Structures are given as C-alpha cells and as structure tokens.
Structure 1
C-alpha cells in the first residue's frame, strides 16, 4: 500500500480550503440537497416537541447533568468518561487546545475540521494520505511511530469507508492520543466497528454527533467519550455552560430507547437507499464509486466533476465538491444518500449533466 505522509506546507502538498463545508453548496439556493450529510426530514416531530418544551427553562443556566448521565448510560460508561460539547466541531477545538501533542497526524481524506483546529492552535500537522487505488483503506503502519496524536474518521467522511475496529486498535499505544470521529457511526446498521464503549484502548478519544441522524446542525450538540483525566482536561478548556438548554434536552431525548430504536431503523433504511444510489451510479461507465460504502453518503470519481457539479446545480441538485479534502482532487464528488424517489430524480439529472461533457472527457 502506498500511503504517503506529507506536511500541509510541504512543496507539492497542495492547498485545500479546510473551512469549506457542504452547507456552502446549498446556502441561499433552492436546491435538492445531496451536499450535506444531515438525514432528510429531521428532526422528527417528537424531538421538536422535546426541544420546544425546554424553552420554558431559558431563564435558568443550563444543567448538563441529566443529559450527561443519559449519554453515559446509553454507552454503558461512567459519567466521568463523558463530555457534552456544542457539536463535534467544538470537541476538535478542545482537543487541539487542551491535549498535549508534539507530532499530531491527521489521516486523510477526512473531515477537515480536525486539522483546521490543530493548525489554529499552533500545531504543525502531518497528513497520512490514504490511496484511492486501495479504496482508502487504512494501513496502521503508515502512521509515523512518533505521532502522539492521531485523528481518523470511522466511517470516514467523505470516503464512506468503515475501518475495522481491529485495525484502528493497532494505532493505539501508551503516550499517544487516538481520536476516532464516529459522527456517522449511528448511521451504520448495528454500529459495527464502533469503539465508543471501549475502555481498554490506551489514549482512545471517541467523538459522537447528534447532528447527522437527528437533523440538529443548527442546535450544535455532540459529545466526547474518553478516560476521566482526558475529559477533565477538555472540560477545563470549555467556557462555562457551553451547551444550551435546548441542546441538552435534545441530547437526553436522543438517548432514550425510543430514539435508539428509531435511529437503528433509519440506519437500515439508509443502507437500502445507499444500495439503490450505488446501483444507479454503476450504470454510468464514466463514474467510479468508492466501495463498499458504509456511511450515509458515497464518494464518486469522474473526469469533469466540477462541470458536472455546476450542471447539476442548474438542474436543481447540490453535490459536495471533493477538492477541498486533502488527498482528493477536482475529479471527486460526495453524494448524500436520499430516499429512492429523490435518488431517481437525481440520477436522471446526473445523466443529463454527463451528456454536457466533451466526448474526450466522457
């Protein structure tokens, strides 16, 4: 496996807009959204009602203890191993600022916010770039031995690769912090390969988000699972009352058995809908789909992707550009999984968009 390591400022390393996210593709436009990985038609009515009911408590300062206890119970952990955050993005900032790291490494392609946060905190970040030829599979030996903080997504955004837990475990060792971003793990049926409940892996820090499955991007709620001493270090870097009362109400509600059952059913539907999308994409000889895809999105490669994306916008569909992810280039697009009817309409538009490419590109 050829998995290069690079420094972002090294000659030939390339420049990527690490602060570009999928919402930029749809903001201010009336488009069918395949650019953002939030599950469609969320939050559900019962969750909106729980959030609305919390508005009567806004005069009081937030009390995170019930939500923290609910998260701990959901994962079978003591509360000392749980930290609530204003989304997973805040957790990346806390990690960058509060945890010691001399040689941080980010495994790419992946969500760019971890590297952005590390760089903003003054760290010199090294990248391990997974190879498209290997379907972006992780070889633990590609991570430098002197790395004392390693960040990896699972399943990874944007590749939709689900790394085996046994492979991720090989990245852990005493003296190293291993950050596993499981923001999309609850969209994987059975949460296969999850590490969120593990307490036997040294230096493990797991991040979870309630944004994707429950449609709470505007509320900002996520959490960290880690050893108590790590949680204390992160908590000391937080401002007072970092999570709002409505967000805490949402977190508590999403840990209840009813919610877990609904999330599990949604994961099964996503798997079926993703299979339909992948099958449709396979019909286009110009397109290569990264498989097996395990997240609520798929990554595709085609020449002329930038032109296709713009043509799709004209046809009413937003797709996520891939060239802002280190390790990818302008020939990549990420597509969120939607219901079968939406996917069928998208595939028709995609076919039209491909027809506009020059014959040499197609």
Structure 2
C-alpha cells in the first residue's frame, strides 16, 4: 500500500527515530534562536495567574502528591464520575499505558497523526496496522476505511498534523462491541466550543471508548507533563495499575485543577476563537503562494496549525531556517513524504513576518533552480 492509500497497510517499516521525531527537535541546538513555528504550544503561556498557582505549589513539595482534588475537578469539568478519569504525565503517557494494559490482536492506527501511539504499541510488542488517509480526500476519514476486524483503533481529533476535525458522528461509527476506540483529543480545547468532541457520547457508545486530553498545548505546560484519560471504570482501573505510585507531580496536579475551572475554560474558549482568527489570517497569506507551489492540505483546518505541501519542501525548510523560522518537517509522519511541512498558528505580526520570509525563501529557490 502506498503512503497515499486508500485503505490499510501492514506492519510498514518505520524507523524508531522517525516515529519519535517531534517538533521540539526543530528548535533545539542550532535552532534555539529561531522563531518557533514547529511546536504547537500556545505562545505567551503559561499565563501569569497559572504561574502564580504553580509557584505557590512549590511550598508543598515535601508532601506526597494527592491526586484526588485534581481528579475530581477534571471529572466535574466533563460531567463524569471521578472513577472514569485517570490523570497522566501528559497524554503521551496514556499511549504507553494503553499499549501495555489493553489486549489487542489487530491494532490499527489511522495516519497521518501523532506518531507516539504507534511507537508505544510497537514497543509493547504489537504488530501495528495502518489506515492511511489520502491528501486527495483532504485526509478525511470514512468509517469503512477501518477494517471490521480491528479490535483497537487509534485516531486523532483534531488530527496532528493535518488539522482535520473528524465529525463525532463518523468517529462514533467506529465504536463497536469487542473493540477499543482511542480518540486523541489533545488539541480539542483549541476548537471553539470543543465541537465534535466524543466526550458527550462516551456513555452511549458500544465497546470500549477512550478519550485522551492534554493540558500542555493551550496552557503552555509541555515541560510540566499533565494530561488525562476519560473512559469507563474498568478501563481506567486497568490503566492505573500500569502506573507507578504518585505518577503525577504536585505542580502538575495543581495545574490540572486550575485549568479545568470555569474561568480557565472561558480563557481557553477565547484562545480557541483567537486561534481560528489567526489561522484564517495565515491561510490568507498563504493563498497567493499557490502559484509558487505552496498548497494547504486541508480544505477546512480546525487545529492551531496547518499542514502545507510544496514539491521542494525540504529545501524550503532549510531556507526558512536561514531566514529565522523553524517549521515542522512532515516526512516523519506515516502517510506523508518530504514534500510536507507543518506550521503552527501564531499572532498576526508573526504570521506576516513568516509569510514575507516564505516569499523570500521561494524566490531564492526559484533563483537557485534557474542557475
């Protein structure tokens, strides 16, 4: 099966270092001084009020962490009992727990998406099958693309890196008896009103459904590591048994409690609306560059990032680095190749500077090609 589908591919070879390549690699080392469009964490975060809460928590570090209040706060935020919530050291930990705790004879990962779920499944000894979504379909998922025999299915929503938001009704069709459906909603709080989240349907879907959330993107807590799992009681208990004692630090628990209160949710909604406006500006600045080969991947992107295609994307990324901008390479995502890169949505001033740099990079590519 080619990388551009349709349908599934078997245990396609994928180097571990490719699956474990993430956007932060673009800004480490010689990339430390670049404008960061490779990492999808909201700029200007954590906000001052959250930094103050975290700083105050340092006075309590002599005591062992108590996850009860944070777990209750997350549960109340989603209208669920506390025993249907598991706090984790970022959403990435949850993928490891799932791979170790849940049986799977035929696990399937829908790509392109965040690569950590597949990496965790492989590390746990699973043979992973891929469903590769196609650029000509706008990377949209049809439920019948997933094999009926798949007993564990992982899909992102909205999907990193494609910025596709799959309708909840489509994802609900993937739920069935005998199957675990895992939906990675790490970027759902960047979608206004959290449209098409599967959380409201959790209690009504057949089989086992697991929704993962992250607090690191909107709140700027990638270095703190805090996320959570929402599922049924038995699944939460099975995952918890795979965790060590006190798996989440006291500051991370404070963050979970703080970021799920009413004021924080209102701020997250305002940020989501800001992402939408800033994304529209970025799309408008990219549109005139279509004649130079720059194409968006998704007709209606909904995440705080865009997937972009150019036939010489690797060289273009190098030119952008020379001009002070880091973007995320696309070829480490299964189903994509070297002609793709991902751009984080930023404020209008940064977008305008990036667009000007991209135009300049394209001009130098053309000039080099003419020689």
Same fold by TM-score, threshold 0.5 exceeded? yes
Which one of the candidate residues 336, 340, 353 is aligned to 1:345?
A: 353
Give the 3-state SS of the residue equivalent to 1:199 in structure 2.
Answer: helix
Q: How far is 1:127 from its partner?
A: 0.3
CA RMSD of aligned residues (A): 1.6
- Structure 2 unaligned blocks of 5 or more: none
Q: How far is 1:151 from its partner?
A: 0.1
Partner of 2:35: 32
2:304 paired with 1:279: no
Partners of 2:369 and 2:309 in 1: how far apart?
12
Partner of 1:241: 246
Partner of 2:61: 58
Q: How far is 1:27 from its partner?
A: 1.1
Partner of 1:256: 261
Tell me the TM-score normalised to structure 2 length. Answer: 0.95
Give the 3-state SS of the residue equivalent to 1:205 in structure 2.
Answer: strand
Which one of the candidate residues 289, 305, 308 is aligned to 2:313?
A: 305
2:327 paired with 1:319: yes
Q: How far is 1:14 from its partner?
A: 8.8
Give the 3-state SS of the residue equivalent to 2:44 in structure 1.
Answer: coil
Q: How does 1:72-221 map to 2 (within 5 A)?
A: 72-197=75-200, 198-202=202-206, 203-221=208-226
Give the 3-state SS of the residue equivalent to 2:125 in structure 1.
Answer: coil
Q: How far is 1:356 from its partner?
A: 1.9
Residue by residue over 1:105-157, the C-alpha shift from the partner in whole angstroms, topping out at 9 and shown as x without a partner, is: 00000000000000000000000000000000101111111110000000000
Partners of 2:204 and 2:178 in 1: how far apart?
14
Q: How far is 1:7 from its partner?
A: 1.8
Larger fraction in helix: 2
Q: How far is 1:91 from its partner?
A: 0.2
Give the 3-state SS of the residue equivalent to 2:114 in structure 1.
Answer: coil
Give the 3-state SS of the residue equivalent to 1:283 in structure 2.
Answer: helix
Residue by residue over 1:248-282, the C-alpha shift from the partner in whole angstroms, topping out at 9 and shown as x without a partner, is: 00000001111000000000000000000011111
Residue by residue over 1:51-92, the C-alpha shift from the partner in whole angstroms, topping out at 9 and shown as x without a partner, is: 111111100100000000000000000001100000000000
Give the 3-state SS of the residue equivalent to 2:337 in structure 1.
Answer: coil
- Structure 1 unaligned blocks of 5 or more: none
Q: How far is 1:358 from its partner?
A: 4.0
Partners of 1:361 and 1:196 in 2: how far apart?
50
Between Structure 1 and Structure 2, how many residues are aligned?
360
2:362 paired with 1:354: yes
Give the 3-state SS of the residue equivalent to 2:334 in structure 1.
Answer: coil
Tell me the TM-score normalised to structure 1 length. Answer: 0.97
